[in-house]
Structure 1
Amino acid sequence: MIIVDRPEVLVVGYAVRTSAAAEADPALARSPGLWARAGAPGAFAHVPGRVDENLYAVLTDYESAGRGAYTQIVGTAVHTAARLPEGMVAVRVPGVPAMLFEARGPMPDALRDAWQQVGKHVESGAAPARAFTTDLEIHHLGGVDLYVATLPSFGDPTGPIPVVPPIPPAQPA
C-alpha cells in the first residue's frame, strides 16, 4: 500500500445499493448481477466520450463506516456525461489522497485479498485513516488498482508554514 493523490474521474455505469451483509448472502447479493451486466461484451460501447477500455467500480454513499449500506457503480470513465444512456447513472469521483492497493493475480481472489488488506489496515487503527467517502477500483488487463480514500492528515503539513511578519507598534498620533 502506498499513499497517492487519486485524480478526479467521471464514471458512467450501472448502480446498485447493497451492504456487506447482503453480499454475504447469495440470495440477497446484488453485486453479481451488476458485474454480469457491466461485464457483458459491448456493455459500454454506446457510451459517448469514453476515456479507455477499463472497468471502473465506484463504492460510495457509505451509511456508517463500512458497516451499513453503500452504493456501487460499475462502468466506464468518460470525459463528459452530457447524455446518459438509459438505465445508467453518472458519478464524479473526487480527486483525494488515497491508499493504493494493487491486486495482481487470479481474480477475484487477488481483489478480495486487497480488500482484506484494507480491512486489516482499518482495524489496526494505523494512519492514514480510511475516509469512507468514495473508493475506486480500476480493472485493467494487468489486474485491479484499488484506491481507498483517506482522511486528511493535519499533523503533517504538505507545504511550508508561512512566516507572518510581526505587527509594527502603533505610532502616536
Structure 2
Amino acid sequence: MEQNLADFKVIGISIESTNEGEKSIEEMGKLWGKFYSDGISEKIPNKESDDIYSIFTDYESDYTGKYTAIIGHKVKSLDDIPDGLVGRKFEGGKYTKLTAKGEMPDAILDIWKKVWKEDKELKRRYTVDFEVYGEKSQNGKESEVDVFIATE
C-alpha cells in the first residue's frame, strides 16, 4: 500500500552495517540488545510515542552495500540530543507500506527477503526505509510490525 509521509525526526543509537553474509542479523541483534540493556528509550527526550523505529539509511548503493541502521523513537525536536545518541531528520515522500506478521524477528526477516527479491519492481529510492514497532509488535505469533520502503 502506497502512502505519502511527512518529514520526521528520530533520536536513538546507530551502527553501520551490511547485508553481506547475513552480517546485519548479528549486528542488528546486538544493537537491539544495547537499546534495551542501556535503557535508551528512557534517555530520549520529546518522544512522540512509545513506538520504536528501526531505520535504514545512508545507503552506499543498494541492499547489497553498506548502510546506517538507527534504533530509536520519533521525536518532536532535535534540540536536545543526549550524549552517546544520534539525532536525524528524514525526508518524507512516497512509501510502500508492508506489514510483517508472525513471530519476530523471523517475520521481519521474511519481509526484507521479499523486498530484496522485488527490489526493481518496488522502484526503491534508497533514502530511508524503516520499521515501526508499536503495540502489536510483542504478541508472539500474532505480532505485527509495519515496514515502510521509500519508493519513486
Name stretches of at least 5 consecutive residues in structure 1 with no aligned partner: 152-173
Structure 1 position 39, deviation (Å) = 2.8
Seen in structure 2, the aligned counterparts of structure 1 residues 69 and 3 have a Cα distance that, compared at 3 Å, is same
Q: Deviation of residue 30 (structure 1)?
A: 2.3
Q: Corresponding residue for 2:125? A: 131
Secondary structure of the residue aligned to 1:85 is coil
Aligned residues between the structures: 145
Task: Tell me how far apart the structure 1 counterparts of residues 73 and 117 of structure 2 sit (CA, whole Å).
Answer: 29
Q: State the partner residue of 1:60.
A: 57
Contact 2:12–2:40 (CA<8 Å) still a contact in 1? no
**Change over 3 Å in CA distance of 1:52–1:18 after alignment to 2:** same
Q: Offset of 1:117 from its aligned partner?
A: 1.8
The answer to whether the 8 A contact 1:18-1:29 is kept is no
Instruction: Provide the residue aligned with 1:88 in structure 2.
Output: 85
Rounded to whole Å, the distance in 2 between the matches of 1:134 and 1:25 is: 20
- Aligned counterpart, 2:114: 117
Q: Which amino acid aligns with 1:21?
A: E
- Distance in structure 1 (CA, Å) of the matches to 2:7 and 2:26: 29
Task: Report if the CA contact (8 A) 1:10-1:78 is conserved.
Answer: yes
Find 2:103's aligned residue among 81, 102, 106.
106
Partner of 2:139: none
Displacement of 1:41:
7.5
Which amino acid is 2:133 matched to?
H
TM, length-normalised to structure 2: 0.87
- Between structures 1 and 2, the one with greater helix share: 2
Name the SS of the counterpart of 1:115 in structure 2. helix
**SS of aligned partner of 2:84:** coil
The letter for the 2-side match of 1:81 is: L
Q: CA deviation at 1:25?
A: 4.3
Moved over 4 A (4+): none
Conservation of the 8 A alpha-carbon contact between 2:63 and 2:116: no
Counterpart AA for 2:125: A
Aligned-partner SS, 2:42 = coil
* Residue ranges of structure 2 left out of the alignment (5+ in a row): 137-143
TM-superposed CA distance for 1:93, in Å, is 2.0
Greater C-alpha Rg: 1
Q: Alignment identity in percent? A: 28
TM-score, normalising length: structure 1:
0.77
CA RMSD in angstroms, aligned pairs only: 1.9
Structure 2 match to 1:146: 147
